[in-house]
Structure 1
Amino acid sequence: MKSLLILFSISFVMSVYSQSWHTITKQQLGIVSSTMFGGYAPTGTRYFKINPYNNSIWFALNFKAFQLTNDGQFHKYDTSNTSVLQTNSKVFDFAFTPNYTFVMDGTYGLQQFNGTTWNLAIPFSNGINLAYDSDSIWCIRTNQNYIKWFGGFNSQGNYAGFRKAISKNGAFWGGGETSGVSSLDNNDVHHLYSPDTCKLIDWGNYDFKFCRNTDSMYVSCTGGLSIADGYHFIDSICPANSTNMPSGIIIEFEFDKNDNIWALFGDSFFKSSSIAFLNTTTKVWSNFYNTSNSPIKFNTVRTSIEIDTTGNLWVIDQDKLNVLDLGTTPVWLGLKDFTQDNSIEVIPNPTTEYVQINFSEAQAQLRIMDLQGKEIESRSIQNEETISVAHLKQGVYLFEVTTHQGKNTKRIVKN
């Protein structure tokens, strides 16, 4: 297993925009490829998921699976360290239960990982997407009946028309690669929803998801978002009934913990153009990001978004993994030298009684935290000010210095 702990010694990049974006490049992760992620599946396949049980980040590149854990460790899984992923494997999608991570291998079937070892949970071919809910995994296959995994057992369904699916609390919905939305009841009877029978939807289905806190389902159609409550579409979000909605199609979207939406906009070929935030109560769009005010590489089909359980917005593009600093970024990001320069200096390090903090501005804000991110003290400081650390116990601390140029966090050892 290749394991890399991305610590202070690893070069890390941050560009300063209206809000702070942190960026990890494929080179820093040791990914030797022309692209960060992707593979052989049809347009619209994500290859990128965050485990809601532990906030580990998973993404795929051809026959390889990559994991970035919630403490900053990077793992690569391929033919060098697991027998289940072969050079002709096709890693398309990920799904999660409290105890396992599952990989959709389009060649061999459903692969299962318990955190230590891999095994082939269900052998099959032509797999393309996964859906999951609690302890159940649905395997969607091209022109073949879906297969359901539950607690180590599996059963085959009686419907083969889906190319993607979602499930929550017994509700099971599916669709084509970019169009159509249907429900499937407990007897596998298929119910198609179309603009011929429902004025709130069109034929598009670029993404669909359940809200985090309710069973309402949103579908990204060509004209906006259609909203279903139960098995009835009741509302929509479009330029006519929302404010400042960007142009383009919502090719992907994610709910935050309050069921507001971050949306990735683009065209019908999944070529991305911008990201925006929707307050679902007021229906006002804000927080717009494109190539002019973010490090994200748009205008490519290799862009995807995820939100972790603490509210961080993660965006993967062709060259790098980006996270928008919304005040909840993981503590391990503070262990890196984001700016790649010496604009802020904390000396001596290690220390016993004091440190001197040098920076390029007259004043700054200092936060001292432990490695779990718990704040110990916060205060304003002057350039070249000497700070006593005699009261701190022996250990490692994070000194976060905020200036007009942004945040810079140093890892300080107290002897």
Structure 2
Amino acid sequence: MKNFLYILVIVFSLPLHSQWITVQGENYHNHSAYDQFTIDPYTNSMWCVSLYFTSVFDSNGTFTTFDENELGDREAGDEINFGFTQGNIFFTKKLFGLYSFNNYQKQLLYQSNSFNEITNDIDTLFVTSSNDYLLKYRLGFGAENTTLNATQCAAKNGQLYTNRGPYFHVENSIDNWLGNDSFYLTGATDIMEFDNESDTIYLGFVFGISKFHNGIGYDTITPNNTTNMPSPNVLEIEFDKNNNLWVAFGDVNDDFIALGKLENSDWSEVYTAANSPINFDEFYGFEFDTSGNIWVASRKDLHTLENSNSPAWLSNVEYAMDAPQISVYPNPVIDVLNVQLPASVQKAEVLISDINGKVVLKQILNSQEINQLDIRKLEKGIYILNVVGEENQWQEKFIKK
């Protein structure tokens, strides 16, 4: 087990709404969150999980990396997933079983060679399996096998939904297929998430989202009833501190392409590779901590949007390296946008994209003098200016009037 104070490089960039901060993984734990990225909702610790290494980041800016010495042997085909209840840490090893990990000491609780994921409803764990029944487990009380087949599940306040291809609602220990409901879309993507303020569950599909309460559908979220939805293919659902819906979207091949926030019926914030530092080719999930900060895991890195609730260690100048800044004006702009590179940048490419990430203008800048971009042909609206240099990248929002 290795325990360190953060010695890292934090890179700043300027996207659409807030400033992204990237914590570069190669400078600390140096592994991806390939198996799982999750946040303990009781401690705000962040867990980056891969097959042979697991790193946990505490809220004070320290991190600890575990390997097989703490987590036990892992073999090809094994997977590890963590789950939490108040004051307790658990993990499953697909080929070995369910473990407790309190005080970072593992203890086998239940042996299995087919466990998938851990979900909890207060102090009750639900552990899914690839070829066995759903397991219920309470620390101190032991295990209870159900007669439910489930590869994923979601539980809250006694409500239980499962998935084994299609979605089911469990009532009186019997799972009821939801596909007969008129609000049930087609092409389940195995994504189930309760919102923060009710027992409404959001079910992901390749054609959007279905909303259910007590096993009854009552609404959908699709490109037909919202604006600026990057894709109908929903690959992850999360809710922020204010109960706003956020979604990670995929293309027709189920490859991640965008991250978006829904406000009323408009996807008001959409982040793509064009206007954020997120590498969607190696996207491993996103989570919100209890302070409302979004954290995105891609490649070996963590990305977060800076705000007044950002943890203090992110602004520690000992560990932060500010990128040189560009100058962009006027904003709003009518016909000519002025862009000036910092003195340390000799050459950069400018890309202007619309709110959905479509590039509408490209230009090379070869001077630190003021560069004038002719944008008279652009339609009125909000655009993203992307400036890509050899070592830095900037994103700036501007309004064309």
| Same fold at TM > 0.5 | yes
**Partner secondary structure for residue 86 of structure 1:** coil
104, 108, 117: which one pairs with 2:96? Answer: 108
141, 158, 175: which one pairs with 2:146? Answer: 158
Conserved in 1, the CA contact under 8 Å of 2:259 and 2:270? yes
Output the CA distance in 1 between the equivalents of 2:316 and 2:269: 27
Output the CA distance in 1 between the equivalents of 2:254 and 2:37: 15
2:81 is the alignment partner of 1:93: yes
Match of 1:306 in 2: 287
Output the CA distance in 2 between the equivalents of 1:340 and 1:17: 15
2:24 is the alignment partner of 1:37: no
Conserved in 1, the CA contact under 8 Å of 2:163 and 2:190? no
215, 223, 248: which one pairs with 2:199? Answer: 215
**Partner secondary structure for residue 314 of structure 2:** helix
User: By how many angstroms is 1:160 displaced?
Assistant: 4.6
Pairing 1:282-297 to 2, within 5 Å after superposition: 282-297=264-279
The letter for the 2-side match of 1:124 is S
User: By how many angstroms is 1:103 displaced?
Assistant: 1.1
Q: Are residues 269 and 147 of structure 1, via their aligned partners in 2, closer, same or farther at CA, if it must alter by over 3 Å?
A: farther
Match of 1:184 in 2: 170
Match of 1:172 in 2: 160
Match of 2:116 in 1: 128
Match of 1:11 in 2: 9
Q: TM-score if structure 2 supplies the norm length?
A: 0.76
Pairing 1:302-381 to 2, within 5 Å after superposition: 302-336=283-317, 337-340=319-322
Conserved in 2, the CA contact under 8 Å of 1:11 and 1:340? no
User: By how many angstroms is 1:296 displaced?
Assistant: 0.4
Match of 2:220 in 1: 236
User: By how many angstroms is 1:183 displaced?
Assistant: 1.5
Conserved in 2, the CA contact under 8 Å of 1:64 and 1:85? no
171, 182, 201: which one pairs with 2:185? Answer: 201
Q: CA offsets, 1:26-77, max 9 Å, x none?
A: 211232x5xx1214xxxxxxx1111111110012111332211111111111
Match of 1:76 in 2: 65
Conserved in 2, the CA contact under 8 Å of 1:227 and 1:235? yes
User: By how many angstroms is 1:185 displaced?
Assistant: 2.3
Q: TM-score if structure 1 supplies the norm length?
A: 0.73
The letter for the 2-side match of 1:22 is I
Q: CA RMSD in A?
A: 2.4
Output the CA distance in 2 between the equivalents of 1:243 and 1:208: 23
User: By how many angstroms is 1:151 displaced?
Assistant: 2.7
Q: Are residues 232 and 148 of structure 1, via their aligned partners in 2, closer, same or farther at CA, if it must alter by over 3 Å?
A: same
Q: Tell me the matched-pair count.
A: 326
**Partner secondary structure for residue 309 of structure 1:** coil
Q: CA offsets, 1:247-282, max 9 Å, x none?
A: 241110101122211111113554110111112xx2
Conserved in 2, the CA contact under 8 Å of 1:147 and 1:155? yes
The letter for the 1-side match of 2:178 is Y
**Partner secondary structure for residue 147 of structure 2:** coil
Q: CA offsets, 1:165-200, max 9 Å, x none?
A: 110011111113xx41102223x2121111x44344
Q: Are residues 145 and 328 of structure 1, via their aligned partners in 2, closer, same or farther at CA, if it must alter by over 3 Å?
A: same
**Partner secondary structure for residue 246 of structure 1:** coil
Output the CA distance in 2 between the equivalents of 1:200 and 1:110: 33
Output the CA distance in 1 between the equivalents of 2:189 and 2:324: 48
> Which ranges of structure 1 fall in alignment gaps of 5 or more residues?
40-46, 344-359, 361-404, 407-415
User: By how many angstroms is 1:341 displaced?
Assistant: 6.7
Match of 1:62 in 2: 51
The letter for the 2-side match of 1:286 is S
Output the CA distance in 2 between the equivalents of 1:199 and 1:12: 44
Match of 1:275 in 2: 259
Output the CA distance in 2 between the equivalents of 1:297 and 1:203: 26
Output the CA distance in 2 between the equivalents of 1:223 and 1:342: 42
**Partner secondary structure for residue 201 of structure 1:** coil
Output the CA distance in 2 between the equivalents of 1:216 and 1:50: 22
The letter for the 2-side match of 1:27 is E
Conserved in 2, the CA contact under 8 Å of 1:15 and 1:21? yes
Conserved in 1, the CA contact under 8 Å of 2:235 and 2:249? yes
